[in-house]
Amino acid sequence: MVKEIEVEPVTRLEGHGALHLTLGDDGTVKDVQFNIQSTRFFEKFVEGRYCEHIPRITPRICGICPIPHHLTPTKAVEDAWKVEIPEPAYKLRQLLQNAKQYSSHALHFYALAAPDFLLGPFADPALRNVVHVINKMPDVGAMALKMMDFGQKLCAEIGGKSVHPISAIVGGMKKPMDEDARDKFLKQIEDQVEWSKKTVEIGLKVVEDYWDVVANVGVVPTYYVGMTKNGVHDIYDGDIRIVTPDGKKIDYAPQNYLDALGEHIPPHSYATHMYYKPAGYPEGIYRANTLAMLNCADKMATPLADEALKAMRAKVGTDVIHHTFAYHWARLIELVESIEVIATLLQDPDIVNPDCKTLDVEPREGQGVGVTEAPRGLLLYNIWSDNDGICKKANLLVATNHNIAGIEKTLMHVAKQVFEDKALEGLKLPDPWIK
Amino acid sequence: MLPALDIVYWPAVVDFKEDSLKARPDGDVLVGFVEGSLRTNKDLEQAKLMREKCQLIIAFGSCSCYGNVHGLANQWDIQEAIDRKFTQAESITNESPKEPTVHMPGFTSKIVPLDEVIKVDAYIAGCPPKPEQIISAVQFLLGQKPQPMADAPFCSECVLRDSGCVLEKGVLCFGPITSAGCSLKCTSDGKPCVGCFGPSKAVDARVGKLTDMVKNADSLSSGDKKNLYEFLALFLNVPLMAGFDLAGDILKQVKKKGTPQTPLANLPSETEQVASTIMSYLRDHRDFTEISTVCDTCPRIIGSKSTMTRVKRDYEGLPNMEDCFIEQGYLCAGPITRAGCGGLCIRVNAPCSGCYGQTEWNVNQAERFAEVATKGFNVALSKEELLSQMKDKLGFSEKFTLAANKNYR
């Protein structure tokens, strides 16, 4: 008898999704669908808007990563209008993007991912959440909250609001950082770096504890998509990079994104299926997000993070890592990089320099592409402007969307492991930290 | 406060599935926060499910209050939006791409605010709402606010009780129907009581004077009219939900409801009468705008050294931090936007874009802006000139509220 398994909704997900799994009467996996059930048509209703207002609309795509959705369309309009921004604005944006990366990665690890590992996969669903983690491990909980709080407050300081920022404008930034505020954040850096290291230690302990799972469940060779600047890990600026399953790296300038990124409309998900165009669909399905970013990087931008990347590659034994459960590990390496970048930029006098906006900005007809790396993956805006700077049309390829096909491919792989190979039966699982 | 909450459904954070919510008896959950706009049929279903299971529904954020930016899609037939995303996008590679329909909910033809689909008990606007508002609402729900109704009215312990009563001097004062026991004691400074401590069980004899005054609300001073508004907001408990800053959409409630509905039970009939008189007054005065706008809380100078001589776009130059944006030439939705945010955007040199909602509903907001801007600000343009220089009127004046404006249905 054919059996359908439905998970509705998929929880601890930043959006609305369900999972449908079909098993044949012989127990084999027939079909896996990752159904993303919502979309809001931002690409349509930005038409007719002032191009410079798009960055005030699109952050509403995501309450967790509104900052990349503020900065990326700004970059796209600057590309369309051929506007250069002053160096202080570039650094302020880098700082803002990294502040978001820091709070988002801390939130992801502690609030979205950690409950699975700290309580174990068989815990009562009623307890498997961040509230319970905070109750049971108050020290770790307090540290996690202070990390998120630091990142969010820094976002609010530079962006005006931590959620849905407003300070970037075509041509630069509306305002430099206040010196007093800068000093206040600088004072906290030492603690934050310590806590980041501590978080990596917790993460490594989890990886060790669950090594059998990490090394054996969901090891799926795919393509990867990310961004690097001259090969170095960068989340604000750079070229699109594709990594093939066997580790070949291919770079594309943002303007040439259509040569690399194909969008397949599947019948069962509003979030579409992205893939590497030259490899075709579905062969070219890629994954995005933290592990993909690390697979793309020749090296990290900062010393502690680069050391951690080297350690990870040494432990797994390859440069390209296909281990799905290593995404959390990769996220913590990015977390360390973000706090190192923040520490450096907070000491840079440019961030308090009032020369943060190009004053003579003129709209022009044309199209522009902006790319950044959001905490959940590559983020791309292609915006068409008319002569008056009114948006004619837009194409948005958003972060999680880049990962949907890759997630579904991974789910199929894992479903086969679970239902056909009974791979879970012999797995070594640790005693949960929280019982 | 997190440990005090028993969270039974919150997909983004907690692992309960939809079935567990469906399995609960109706009204089993004390309070539901509904966020997000109603774009898909699934969104509608979820909203209705929440209404069935929750005793109190809070429209949380400007998406559920007003439809938010998603409502801008109402400018087009939904099919045009579907086509743009699923068949026309430049990156699509299918030979004949189609709208996904397998296990997909389908789309609503237009976005409408939550309260057009289910009954809403309270509103917390903002995109996003300020954390203080959320904390205040949750504290209220946890029973930390408001104070219980006191037996005696404020008058019983007013310092002006025997001589110098402000009400008797003709100033609107809600002392006769408000609970005693507050620490503010506004009348000690010669100011009237605005009723912030909530209704009392007994009323003072001076209530007759109060009733007469609200029955002749037209003759009240503008300051007193504003107090009417504040009183009613307090009476309906909306500001308690929204941080005491008029951010809950009281005006919308007033326009919609025929009679006052307060969560507090067994009010004295005199108190009910005062409240319903004020309710009728506010409801029947379409032009009632004695409501705080973002400008009321903006630190910038109105009547500054600058004057708008043409409409500037946001990318032009860089505004100074002192003068009103409008007077510097920039479009700022402050004068048509409800207060509550504390001017967060303004603090980083960005004009208001209206995320807390309007101060008047179901009117042409661009025209209203032009009217207000040319009257109350240094603007050297006529209303018509200002309007003609606004290239994206809807995007500027209805960015967060188009779905709530019945003129565009």
Of B87, B314, B348, the CB nearest to A52: B314
Last residue of a domain, one of B284, B315, B345: B284
Structure confidence at residue A131 (pLDDT): 86
Identify all chain B residues contacting A130, using CB atoms and an 8 Å cutoff: 13
Of A167, A277, A357, the CB nearest to B93: A277
CATH number for the domain including B18? 3.40.50.700
Collect all residues with Cβ–Cβ distance below 8 Å to A13 and sequence separation of at least 6: B11, B12
Q: Is residue B98 part of a domain?
A: no
Please indicate, yes or no, whether residues B326 and B280 belong to a single structural domain of this protein.
no
Structure confidence at residue B142 (pLDDT): 67
Beta bridge partners of A35: A18
Last residue of a domain, one of B220, B253, B284: B284
Site of tokens 């209530």: B207
Mutate to test the interface with B, among A33, A35, A40 (most CBs of B within 10 A): A40
**Rounded Cα gap, residues A80 and B163, in angstroms:** 72
Q: Where are the alpha helices (DSSP H) in B108-201?
A: 131-141
Please indicate, yes or no, whether residues B272 and B335 belong to a single structural domain of this protein.
no
Please indicate, yes or no, whether residues B342 and B237 belong to a single structural domain of this protein.
no
Question: Which residue in chain A is spatially nearest to B7 when comparing CA positions?
Answer: A126
Identify all chain A residues contacting B73, using CB atoms and an 8 Å cutoff: 40-41, 44-45
Q: Is residue B239 part of a domain?
A: yes
Residues B91, A13: C-beta atoms closer than 8 Å? no
Question: Which residue in chain B is spatially nearest to A85 when comparing CA positions?
Answer: B315
Which residues of chain A register pLDDT less than 50? none
Residues A11, B16: C-beta atoms closer than 8 Å? yes
Mutate to test the interface with B, among A43, A50, A93, A110 (most CBs of B within 10 A): A50
Please indicate, yes or no, whether residues B209 and B261 belong to a single structural domain of this protein.
yes
Torsional sign, CA A60, A64, A69, A71: positive
Residues B313, A50: C-beta atoms closer than 8 Å? yes
Mutate to test the interface with B, among A31, A35, A38, A401 (most CBs of B within 10 A): A38
Please indicate, yes or no, whether residues B256 and B372 belong to a single structural domain of this protein.
no
Structure confidence at residue B244 (pLDDT): 33
For the stretch A325-344, pLDDT in tens is 999 999 999 999 999 999 99
For the stretch B285-343, pLDDT in tens is 644 444 678 887 788 999 999 999 999 999 999 999 999 999 999 999 999 998 778 78
Identify all chain A residues contacting B100, using CB atoms and an 8 Å cutoff: 265-270
Identify all chain B residues contacting A255, using CB atoms and an 8 Å cutoff: none
Residues B12, A20: C-beta atoms closer than 8 Å? no
Closest chain B C-alpha to A218 CA, distance in angstroms: 22
pTM reported for the whole predicted model: 0.87
Please indicate, yes or no, whether residues B255 and B382 belong to a single structural domain of this protein.
no
What is the number of structural domains in chain B?
A: 3
Please indicate, yes or no, whether residues B279 and B162 belong to a single structural domain of this protein.
yes
Of A45, A52, A161, the CB nearest to B75: A45
Please indicate, yes or no, whether residues B42 and B135 belong to a single structural domain of this protein.
yes
Please indicate, yes or no, whether residues B304 and B402 belong to a single structural domain of this protein.
yes
Q: Is residue B356 part of a domain?
A: yes
Q: What count of CB pairs under 8 Å joins A to B? A: 218
Which residues of chain B register pLDDT less than 70? 1-3, 136, 139-148, 184, 226, 229-230, 233-265, 283-291
Please indicate, yes or no, whether residues B255 and B306 belong to a single structural domain of this protein.
no
Q: Is residue B146 part of a domain?
A: no
Q: Is residue B112 part of a domain?
A: yes
Structure confidence at residue B240 (pLDDT): 41
Identify all chain A residues contacting B72, using CB atoms and an 8 Å cutoff: 45, 49, 57
User: Domains (ranges, CATH) in chain A?
Assistant: 3-36 (no CATH), 42-420 (1.10.645.10)
Q: Which residues form the domain of B298?
A: 292-409
Q: Is residue B94 part of a domain?
A: no
Structure confidence at residue B290 (pLDDT): 44
Q: Is residue B67 part of a domain?
A: yes
Three-state DSSP string of chain A:
CCEEEEECCCCCCCCCEEEEEEECCCCCEEEEEEEECCCCCHHHHCCCCEHHHHHHHHHHHCCCCHHHHHHHHHHHHHHHHCCCCCHHHHHHHHHHHHHHHHHHHHHHHHHHHHHHHHHCCCCCCCCCCHHHHHHHCHHHHHHHHHHHHHHHHHHHHHHCCCCCCCCEECCEECCCCCHHHHHHHHHHHHHHHHHHHHHHHHHHHHHHHCHHHHHHCCECCCEEEEEEECCEECCCCCEEEEECCCCCEEEECHHHHHHHEEEECCCCCCCCEEEEHHHCCCCCEEECHHHHHHHHCCECCCHHHHHHHHHHHHHHCCCCCCEHHHHHHHHHHHHHHHHHHHHHHHCCHHHHCCCCECCCCCCCCEEEEEEEEECCEEEEEEEEECCCCEEEEEEEECCCHHHHHHHHHHHHHHHHHHHHCCCCCCCCCCCCCCC
Last residue of a domain, one of B225, B256, B284: B284
For the stretch A264-308, pLDDT in tens is 999 999 999 999 999 999 999 999 999 999 999 999 999 999 999
**Rounded Cα gap, residues B195 and A257, in angstroms:** 61
Of B17, B80, B315, the CB nearest to A169: B315
Residues B100, A267: C-beta atoms closer than 8 Å? yes
Closest chain A C-alpha to B395 CA, distance in angstroms: 6
Closest chain B C-alpha to A417 CA, distance in angstroms: 23
Of B43, B73, B104, the CB nearest to A270: B104
Question: In this structure, are residues B339 and B293 in contact, taking their beta carbons and an 8 Å threshold?
Answer: yes
Mutate to test the interface with A, among B17, B35, B88, B91 (most CBs of A within 10 A): B91
Tell me which residue of A284, A333, A381 sits closest to A109, measured CA to CA: A333
Identify all chain B residues contacting A355, using CB atoms and an 8 Å cutoff: none
Please indicate, yes or no, whether residues B297 and B280 belong to a single structural domain of this protein.
no
Beta bridge partners of A36: A17
Please indicate, yes or no, whether residues B333 and B361 belong to a single structural domain of this protein.
yes
Q: Is residue B92 part of a domain?
A: no
* Phi, psi of A379, deg, nearest 5: -125, 125
Residues B13, A12: C-beta atoms closer than 8 Å? yes
Q: Where are the alpha helices (DSSP H) in B244-376?
A: 250-256, 269-284, 344-347, 365-376
Closest chain A C-alpha to B8 CA, distance in angstroms: 8
ipTM of the complex: 0.95
Mutate to test the interface with B, among A32, A78, A174, A361 (most CBs of B within 10 A): A174
* Phi, psi of B281, deg, nearest 5: -60, -50
